C-alpha cells in the first residue's frame, strides 16, 4: 500500500521521493495518519504539467518526524474538508489561487482579496441568521485601535452570539510569490516582517530550510543562540498578551506592569542583536551576533528581576476573583473541536492537545532542551492565559540554563556559503521546517526546480489555522466577551494575509 | 454659602470629577496620566467644533444631547446638601429627580436608536436594561432617608441634620449609602459595570451610545455625564461624609473612592451586572427593614 514519505523536522528529500499518490490512496493515507494522531501543517498546490500537484505536510504524533505526500488533480477533485475539517482554509486557498474546485466544500469564500475586481475587497457572502429577534453586528475592517484590517460578522440573538464569521485578507501582499521570483535578495527581511511579532520564528524556519537544501550544518552554539532569541520573543509576547488581557477586563495593575515588562524583554533581544524584534539576528548558516560571556551575565542579570516582576504582576490575575470570573468558562474550545480544526500553539494546548514542536519535533542540535510541555484541559480564556504564564516559567528557566551552557563553547557562528545568485539550494528538492513560535507552530515548505531555483515556497503561520478557533469559541457566548476571547488567541492578520 | 452658590459650584466643578478619577487610576497604575482638567479642555474644544449628522438621523438624534443636559441640570437643582431648601425643592421631589435622570437617559437612548447603528442599538438596549434595574433600587435606597428625616424632599434627606437622628437609625443610613454607591457606579458607567476608557465597542454600554455624536452635541453629553456623576457623588458624600459634603471636598473624596475601586478590580461580565444591582437592592431593602421598627 502507498505511503507518505517520512522526513525529519528541517529535513529535505529529492522532489521525486515525495510519493505522488492517486486520490483514493492519498485520502486513505491521510486518514491513517490523522487517525494515528498526526496533525496537518500545510497543504498547498504547485502547477505541474497542466495539472495541479497538491502537497501535504503532516506532523506525526509519537515519532519526531514529519510525513509528506502529494497527489495530482485536474480541474476539480472531491474536497477533503468534509472528512478533515482542518483542511477547510487550505482548500479554499487552493481554489482561490488555482481555480481548482474542491467539490463538496461547503464554504468556498475568499481567503484573501488580491485587489482585482472580483471579488472586490471585502465582498463576501456572509452567513445570515433569519428571524425577528436576530440581529447582525458588523465590526471592522477598520477597528477602534491601531491594528490591521479584518472584518467580523456576528449573528446575534440579543447578547448571545449564534455565529461569528471572520473575513480576512484585506492587505494581501503576495509574499509567497515574491519568494519565487526573487529568492535571494530580500528574502530574509521579508521573512522577518511577514508577521512582525514572530520575526525570529519565521527567520529561523526560513534559514533552516535554506541550510537543509544546501547541506549546511549549523553549529550547536548558533542553534542555541537562536533558541534563546526565540524564547525571548515568546516571553515578550506572552507577557504583552497577559497585560492586554487584563486591560480588556479593565484590570489596571497587571495591564500596566505587563506593558512595561514586555518592553524589558524586547530590550533584552536588542541587547543581543541591536533590534528589539530580533531582526538581523538569524541568517541562513547560523546567527550574526554572538552571546559573549559578559553579555550572557548581563542578560541573566536583566532576566531574573524581569521574570520575578512578571510572576508578581500575573499572579494578581489569579488572586482577584473579579478577574478569574471573567475568564473561566468563557470562550471554550472543546478538545475534539481543537483537534478536528487543527489548532496550533497555546490555543491548542489550552484545549488539551499535546502539540509543541519544540518538544516533540526539536530542530537539529536542540534535542536536549529539557522543556516541559504545558497543557491545560478547560479550553477557555482562563486556560489560554494560564498556558502563557506556565510557558513564561519554562522559557525563563530554559534561557537561564542555556546561558550557563554557552560559556566556554568556541564554535563559529556562521557556516556554509551563500551559493550562486538566484540558486536557492540543491535542485529538485523538497524540504519542510517547523518552528514553534510563540503563537504556535510555523511551517515553511520549499520546493526547488531542476536549476535549484525556488519553484514554490509555502508559509503557514499559526494564525492561518487558529482564526477558526476564535469563531468557534464565540459560539453561544456573549458578544461582550468577544474582545476578551480575541485577545486570548491574539492572532495575526498579516500572518494570514501574506 | 447659599444653596445657589453651591449649585454654581456644582456646575463649575463637575468636569473635575472624571479628571480626578482618571488621576487616581493613573497614580495606582504608576503612570502620570492626563491632566486633571482634561475634561475642561475637551469641552472647550468640542464647543468650538461643528457637528456632522448622518443622513439617516432625524431631529430625535439632534434633540437628544440638549434634552439630556437640560434634564440633568434640572435634577441637580433639586439637590442641595447645604440647607433644607434647594432652589426648586418641594416635598416628594426625589421622584422628580429620579425621573429627570430617567428622562435624560431616555433622550440619549432614543438618539442612539435613531442612528440605526447596530453598535448603538446594542448599547441602548444594555443601558435600558441596567437602568430599569437600577431605578427601583435607587428609590428603595432613598426610603430609609425619607423615614428618618421625616420629609420626602431631597434637600432634607441629604441634609447634615440627618446624622442627628437616633443612633438606631444610623446603620440604615450606612446601608443606604452603600446601596447608593453601587448604584452610582452603575448609573455613571464606571468599573465594574462599564469601562469608560475602553476602545472595544462590543463591551461598551454608555460610550457606544454616543459614538455618532460630535462637536457641541458631544460636549453636552460629556457635561451632562459629569453633572450626573456630581449628583450621585454628592448624594453618597452627604451620607458618608456629612460634615465635608458642605464643601466640595466630600464629593471629591467620593470620586477618589471611585478611582480606587476602578484600580483594584476588573469589570464584571455584562450578564453579572444585574447581580451587582441586586446586591445594592438587598442593602437598600435591609436599610428599609431597619427603619420599620
Tens digits of per-residue pLDDT, A405-430? 887 667 777 876 655 666 788 888 99
Answer yes or no: do B200 and A144 touch at CB < 8 A. Answer: yes
Query: Best of A139, A247, A480 to disrupt the B interface by mutation (most B CBs within 10 Å)?
Result: A480
Question: Residue A326's closest chain B neighbor by CA?
Answer: B269
How far apart CA B254 and CA B219 sit, in angstroms, is 24
Tens-place pLDDT, residues B93-122: 899 999 999 999 999 999 999 998 889 999
The helix or strand, by DSSP H or E, that contains position B130, with its residue range, turns out to be helix B118-149
Could you give the angle at the alpha carbon of A77 between the alpha carbons of A75 and A79, nearest 5°? 135
Kindly state the average pLDDT of the residues B169-185.
Answer: 91
- Checking if the pLDDT of B265 tops 90, the result is no
Distance from CA of A249 to the nearest CA of B (A): 5
**Phi/psi-derived region of residue B44, left when phi > 0, alpha when psi is between -120 and 50, beta in every other case:** alpha
How far apart CA B248 and CA A37 sit, in angstroms, is 68
pLDDT tier at A3 (50, 70, 90 boundaries)? confident
pLDDT tier at B81 (50, 70, 90 boundaries)? low
Q: Which of A115-124, A308-317, B160-169, B196-205 has the highest mean pLDDT?
A: A308-317
Dihedral sign of CA atoms A413, A416, A421, A424 in order: negative
Answer yes or no: do A256 and B271 touch at CB < 8 A. Answer: no
Could you give the angle at the alpha carbon of B198 between the alpha carbons of B195 and B202, nearest 5°? 90
Answer yes or no: do A139 and B202 touch at CB < 8 A. Answer: yes
pLDDT given at position A420: 62
CA atoms lying within 13 Å on the CB side of residue B135: 17
Query: CA of A159: how far to CAs of B116, B200, B202, in Å?
Result: 17, 15, 10
Query: Best of A138, A249, A321, A484 to disrupt the B interface by mutation (most B CBs within 10 Å)?
Result: A249
Kindly state the average pLDDT of the residues B206-212.
Answer: 90
How far apart CA A289 and CA A282 sit, in angstroms, is 8
How far apart CA A386 and CA A261 sit, in angstroms, is 18
Are B78 and B154 in contact by the 8 Å Cβ rule? The answer is yes
Look up cell 478569574; give the residue: A324
pLDDT given at position A409: 66
Answer yes or no: do A144 and B192 touch at CB < 8 A. Answer: no
Written as one string, the DSSP assignment of A335-397 is HHHHHHHT--HHHHHHTT----HHHHSPPTT-TT--------SS-SHHHHHHHHHHHHHHHHH
pLDDT tier at B229 (50, 70, 90 boundaries)? very high
Strands A51-59 and A12-14, bridge-based pairing: unpaired
User: Pick from B118, B195, B198: which is nearest to A137 by CB?
Assistant: B118
User: Pick from A158, A248, A256: which is nearest to B200 by CB?
Assistant: A248
What are the structural domains of chain A?
5-103 (3.30.460.80), 176-459 (1.10.645.10)
The helix or strand, by DSSP H or E, that contains position B136, with its residue range, turns out to be helix B118-149
Query: Best of A141, A250, A477, A488 to disrupt the B interface by mutation (most B CBs within 10 Å)?
Result: A250
> Which chain A residues are Cβ-neighbours of B29 within 8 angstroms?
252-253, 255-256
Choose the weakest-confidence range: A147-156, A180-189, A210-219, B181-190.
A180-189
pLDDT given at position B232: 93
Q: CB pairs below 8 Å between A and B: how many?
A: 82
Are A446 and A213 in contact by the 8 Å Cβ rule? The answer is yes
pLDDT tier at B244 (50, 70, 90 boundaries)? low
pLDDT given at position A203: 93
Distance from CA of A252 to the nearest CA of B (A): 6
pLDDT given at position B282: 96
> Which chain A residues are Cβ-neighbours of B28 within 8 angstroms?
252-253
Query: Best of A161, A243, A252, A476 to disrupt the B interface by mutation (most B CBs within 10 Å)?
Result: A252
Answer yes or no: do A249 and B29 touch at CB < 8 A. Answer: no
> Which chain A residues are Cβ-neighbours of B267 within 8 angstroms?
249-251, 322, 326
Answer yes or no: do B202 and A252 touch at CB < 8 A. Answer: no
pLDDT tier at A383 (50, 70, 90 boundaries)? very high
Answer yes or no: do B29 and A256 touch at CB < 8 A. Answer: yes
pLDDT tier at A455 (50, 70, 90 boundaries)? confident
What are phi and psi for residue B19, nearest 5 degrees?
A: -65, -40
> Which chain A residues are Cβ-neighbours of B125 within 8 angstroms?
158
Does the global pTM surpass 0.95? Answer: no
Counted domains in chain B: 1
Tens-place pLDDT, residues B148-162: 888 888 888 887 677
User: Pick from B25, B262, B269: which is nearest to A478 by CB?
Assistant: B269
> Which chain B residues are Cβ-neighbours of A322 within 8 angstroms?
192, 265-268
Distance from CA of A406 to the nearest CA of B (A): 37
Residue-number span of the structural domain to which B78 is assigned: 3-291
Tens-place pLDDT, residues A290-330: 888 888 889 999 999 999 999 999 999 999 888 998 899 99
Answer yes or no: do B265 and A320 touch at CB < 8 A. Answer: yes
Answer yes or no: do B199 and A144 touch at CB < 8 A. Answer: yes
Distance from CA of A478 to the nearest CA of B (A): 8
pLDDT given at position A151: 92
> Which chain A residues are Cβ-neighbours of B25 within 8 angstroms?
252
Answer yes or no: do A250 and B119 touch at CB < 8 A. Answer: no
Euclidean distance between the first and the last CA atom of chain A, given in angstroms as a whole number = 37
Distance from CA of B118 to the nearest CA of A (A): 6
Look up cell 464629593; give the residue: B251
Are A228 and A402 in contact by the 8 Å Cβ rule? The answer is yes
Answer yes or no: do B198 and A248 touch at CB < 8 A. Answer: yes
Are A252 and A258 in contact by the 8 Å Cβ rule? The answer is no
User: Pick from A248, A320, A481: which is nearest to B269 by CB?
Assistant: A481
Amino acid at each position: 500500500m502507498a505511503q507518505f514519505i517520512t522526513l525529519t523536522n528541517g529535513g529535505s528529500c529529492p522532489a521525486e521521493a515525495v510519493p505522488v499518490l492517486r486520490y483514493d490512496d492519498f485520502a486513505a493515507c491521510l486518514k491513517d495518519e490523522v487517525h494515528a494522531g498526526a496533525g496537518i501543517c500545510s497543504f498547498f498546490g504547485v502547477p505541474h504539467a497542466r495539472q495541479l500537484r497538491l502537497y501535504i505536510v503532516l506532523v506525526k504524533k509519537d515519532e519526531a518526524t514529519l510525513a509528506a505526500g502529494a497527489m495530482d488533480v485536474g480541474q476539480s477533485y472531491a474536497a477533503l474538508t468534509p472528512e478533515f475539517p482542518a483542511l477547510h482554509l487550505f482548500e479554499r486557498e487552493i481554489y482561490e489561487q488555482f481555480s481548482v474546485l474542491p467539490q463538496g466544500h461547503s464554504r468556498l469564500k475568499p481567503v484573501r482579496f488580491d485587489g482585482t475586481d472580483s471579488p472586490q475587497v471585502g465582498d463576501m457572502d456572509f452567513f445570515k441568521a433569519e428571524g425577528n429577534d436576530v440581529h447582525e453586528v458588523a465590526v471592522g475592517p477598520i477597528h477602534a485601535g491601531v491594528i490591521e484590517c479584518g472584518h467580523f460578522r456576528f449573528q446575534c440573538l440579543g447578547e448571545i452570539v449564534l455565529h461569528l464569521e471572520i473575513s480576512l485578507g484585506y492587505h494581501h501582499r503576495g509574499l509567497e510569490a515574491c519568494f519565487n521570483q526573487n529568492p535571494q535578495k530580500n528574502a530574509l527581511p521579508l521573512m522577518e516582517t511577514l508577521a512582525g511579532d514572530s520575526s525570529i520564528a519565521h527567520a529561523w524556519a526560513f534559514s533552516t530550510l535554506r541550510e537543509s537544501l544546501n547541506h549546511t550544518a549549523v553549529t550547536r552554539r548558533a542553534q542555541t543562540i537562536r533558541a534563546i532569541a526565540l524564547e525571548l520573543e515568546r516571553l515578550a509576547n506572552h507577557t504583552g498578551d497577559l497585560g492586554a488581557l487584563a486591560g480588556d477586563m479593565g484590570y489596571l495593575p497587571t495591564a500596566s506592569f505587563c506593558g512595561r515588562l514586555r518592553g524589558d524583554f524586547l530590550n533584552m533581544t536588542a541587547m543581543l542583536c541591536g533590534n528589539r524584534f530580533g531582526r538581523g539576528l538569524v541568517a541562513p548558516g547560523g546567527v550574526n551576533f554572538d552571546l559573549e560571556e559578559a553579555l550572557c551575565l548581563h542578560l541573566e542579570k536583566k532576566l531574573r528581576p524581569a521574570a520575578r516582576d512578571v510572576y508578581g504582576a500575573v499572579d494578581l490575575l489569579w488572586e482577584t476573583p473579579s478577574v478569574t470570573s471573567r475568564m473561566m468558562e468563557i470562550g471554550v474550545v472543546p478538545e475534539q473541536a481543537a483537534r478536528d480544526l487543527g489548532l496550533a500553539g497555546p490555543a491548542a494546548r489550552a484545549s488539551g492537545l499535546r502539540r509543541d514542536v519544540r518538544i516533540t519535533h526539536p530542530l537539529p542540535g536542540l534535542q536536549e532542551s529539557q522543556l516541559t510541555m504545558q497543557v491545560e484541559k478547560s479550553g477557555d480564556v482562563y486556560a489560554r492565559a494560564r498556558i502563557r504564564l506556565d510557558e513564561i516559567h519554562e522559557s525563563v528557566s530554559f534561557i537561564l540554563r542555556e546561558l550557563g551552557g554557552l560559556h566556554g563553547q568556541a564554535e563559529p557562528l556562521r557556516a556554509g556559503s551563500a551559493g550562486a545568485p538566484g540558486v536557492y539550494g540543491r535542485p529538485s528538492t523538497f524540504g519542510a521546517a517547523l518552528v514553534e513560535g510563540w503563537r504556535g507552530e510555523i511551517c515553511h515548505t520549499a520546493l526547488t526546480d531542476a536549476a535549484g531555483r525556488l519553484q514554490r515556497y509555502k508559509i503557514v503561520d499559526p494564525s492561518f489555522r487558529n482564526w477558526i478557533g476564535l469563531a468557534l469559541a464565540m459560539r453561544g457566548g456573549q458578544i461582550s466577551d468577544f474582545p476578551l476571547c480575541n485577545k486570548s488567541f491574539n492572532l495575526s492578520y498579516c500572518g494570514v494575509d501574506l | 454659602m447659599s444653596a445657589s452658590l453651591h449649585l454654581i459650584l456644582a456646575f463649575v466643578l463637575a468636569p473635575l470629577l472624571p479628571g480626578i478619577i482618571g488621576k487616581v487610576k493613573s497614580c495606582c497604575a504608576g503612570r502620570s496620566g492626563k491632566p486633571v482638567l482634561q475634561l475642561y479642555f475637551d469641552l472647550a474644544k468640542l464647543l468650538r467644533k461643528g457637528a456632522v449628522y448622518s443622513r439617516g438621523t432625524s431631529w430625535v438624534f439632534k434633540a437628544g444631547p440638549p434634552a439630556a443636559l437640560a434634564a440633568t441640570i434640572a435634577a441637580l437643582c433639586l439637590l442641595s446638601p447645604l440647607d433644607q431648601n434647594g432652589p426648586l425643592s418641594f416635598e416628594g421631589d426625589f421622584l422628580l429627580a429620579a425621573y429627570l435622570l430617567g428622562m435624560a437617559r431616555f433622550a440619549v437612548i432614543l438618539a442612539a436608536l435613531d442612528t440605526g447603528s447596530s453598535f448603538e442599538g446594542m448599547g441602548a438596549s444594555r443601558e435600558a436594561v441596567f437602568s430599569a434595574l437600577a431605578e427601583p433600587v435607587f428609590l428603595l435606597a432613598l426610603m430609609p432617608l425619607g423615614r428618618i428625616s421625616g420629609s420626602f424632599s431631597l434637600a432634607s434627606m441629604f441634609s447634615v441634620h440627618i446624622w442627628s437622628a437616633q443612633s438606631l437609625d444610623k446603620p440604615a443610613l450606612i446601608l443606604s449609602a452603600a446601596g447608593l454607591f453601587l448604584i452610582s457606579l452603575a448609573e455613571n458607567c464606571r468599573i465594574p459595570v462599564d469601562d469608560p476608557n475602553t476602545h472595544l465597542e462590543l463591551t461598551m454600554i454608555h460610550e457606544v451610545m454616543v459614538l455618532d455624536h460630535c462637536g457641541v452635541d458631544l460636549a453636552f453629553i460629556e457635561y451632562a455625564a459629569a453633572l450626573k456623576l456630581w449628583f450621585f457623588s454628592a448624594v453618597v458624600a452627604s451620607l458618608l461624609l456629612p460634615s465635608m459634603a458642605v464643601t466640595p471636598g466630600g464629593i471629591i473624596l467620593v470620586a477618589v473612592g471611585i478611582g480606587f475601586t476602578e484600580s483594584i478590580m476588573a469589570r464584571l461580565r455584562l450578564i453579572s451586572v444585574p447581580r451587582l444591582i441586586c446586591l445594592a437592592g438587598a442593602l437598600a431593602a435591609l436599610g428599609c427593614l431597619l427603619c420599620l421598627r
